[in-house]
Amino acid sequence: MKALIDNSNLYAGGGIQVATSFLHDLCSIEDDNQYHVVQSVNSAKQINKEEFDDRFYFYDLTKENSSILKRSNWLKKIENEVKPNVIFTVFGPSYHKSNFPKVVGFALGQVLYPQSPYFKKISLLNLVKLKLVSYLKSFLFQKNSDVLIYETEDANTIYSSINKNKVKGYTVSNTVNSVFLNKESWKEISVEKSSFNIIYLTANYLHKNIEIIPKVIDELIKADKLKDFKFHLSVNKTEMNFDDKYDPYINYLGKVEIKQIPLLYKKMDLLFMPTLLETFSTTYLEAMYMQIPIVASDMSFARDICSDAAFFAEPLNPKDYARKILALYYDNDLYESLVQKGTENLKRFGTSMDRTKKYLEILKMHANANN
């Protein structure tokens, strides 16, 4: 099988993690397939091409050809040269129709969960823009995909109803990145720690609700119970508009390499996840795997993934987040209970290799379908 793996529209966050894990898993599988991998500027930074054998061919986007139109034209040229049996856009939508069967990963929470408080936070103008973009992306998912892959059964059910089952859909659950299973690959990361360390691994998107953190810090200071704590954020200070007075309580990590994440978790005491909109985030699973508890926004997608293995707070209530953080700081039994529940809950999800094998089954099933 000759597969074209399209990572060209990945920018940050979980999408790049999934794509990187998928490639590393493929590298460890012995097969006769060819893998032609189209990489975005950021996804290309996450891999060392020298680690891959001669089954892999890489095509790297540059900033000059990364606009949607130029990217689509470039991709179509590669497709026509490679003539793949199947195309896998790890996360879509794909912005052009192909002459070859196309399997596309679906992650469009704004269509799945219109009741999210995120939509109440943004201005009317931005809401209208978001709805238009969401409608366009939903249209492209349906128009340019032969097969869709969802990360949860909930997403499959909701979107299959929206598109009236016009596009074949499969559910392949997300899982802990394969890097976590290979301790030899872990890289050290230097972190300025405090007595209680709280991690939020995220890109700076509005739906991630990062701006609530200064308000949570205010509540923790006001409670006057937790004297020495620090939030560690995977963004740069220049990206945020936080007052300098919060600097003693925030460590701006910037982008963290995937191989640094496991040892970063080991330095942490708690995962903070106030996100308002997701289809799936492996960050929940990573915390469970590394055995730290989770304080999360009380959203249906978070409960679907975490079950009883997280402490949920009102999504837009900084005082409630602070209460939950303090409860875990003071109650060791509660802390350990959530860690144990996380270990059990994690068993519901397979390994990244399980996910990769399911991807391959679907790709093989639909290879040459257009012929």
Q: Does 321 reside within a domain?
A: yes
- The structural domain count of the chain equals 2
Q: Does 319 reside within a domain?
A: yes
371 pLDDT higher than 60: no
Q: Are residues 150 and 204 in the same domain?
A: no
Q: Are residues 288 and 246 in the same domain?
A: yes
Measured between alpha carbons, how far apart are the two ends of the chain, in Å?
14
Q: Which residue has the tokens 């392949």?
A: 172
Q: Are residues 33 and 168 in the same domain?
A: yes
Q: Does 109 reside within a domain?
A: yes
Q: Are residues 132 and 49 in the same domain?
A: yes
33 pLDDT higher than 70: yes
Quick check: 359 and 26 in contact, CB under 8 A?
no
Q: Are residues 169 and 218 in the same domain?
A: no
Q: Are residues 147 and 276 in the same domain?
A: no
Q: Are residues 200 and 157 in the same domain?
A: no
370 pLDDT higher than 70: no
Q: Are residues 92 and 159 in the same domain?
A: yes
Q: Does 212 reside within a domain?
A: yes
As a whole number, mean pLDDT of residues 66-88 equals: 91
Q: Does 256 reside within a domain?
A: yes
Q: What percent of the chain has pLDDT over 70?
A: 99
283 vs 272: CA distance, rounded Å: 10
User: How sure is the predictor about 47, in pLDDT bands with cuts at 50, 70 and 90?
Assistant: confident
Q: Are residues 31 and 141 in the same domain?
A: yes
User: How sure is the predictor about 181, in pLDDT bands with cuts at 50, 70 and 90?
Assistant: confident
List the CATH number of the domain containing 219. 3.40.50.2000
Range of the domain at 29: 2-175+351-366
Q: Are residues 198 and 329 in the same domain?
A: yes
Q: Does 275 reside within a domain?
A: yes
Q: Are residues 137 and 253 in the same domain?
A: no
Closest CA to 249 of 288, 210, 193: 193
Q: Does 371 reside within a domain?
A: no
Q: Does 149 reside within a domain?
A: yes
pLDDT digits (tens, 9 = 90+) for 293-344: 999 999 988 998 999 999 999 999 999 999 999 999 999 999 999 999 999 9
* Residue 252, pLDDT score: 96
As a whole number, mean pLDDT of residues 184-204 equals: 93
59 vs 366: CA distance, rounded Å: 23
* Residue 31, pLDDT score: 93
Q: Are residues 34 and 167 in the same domain?
A: yes
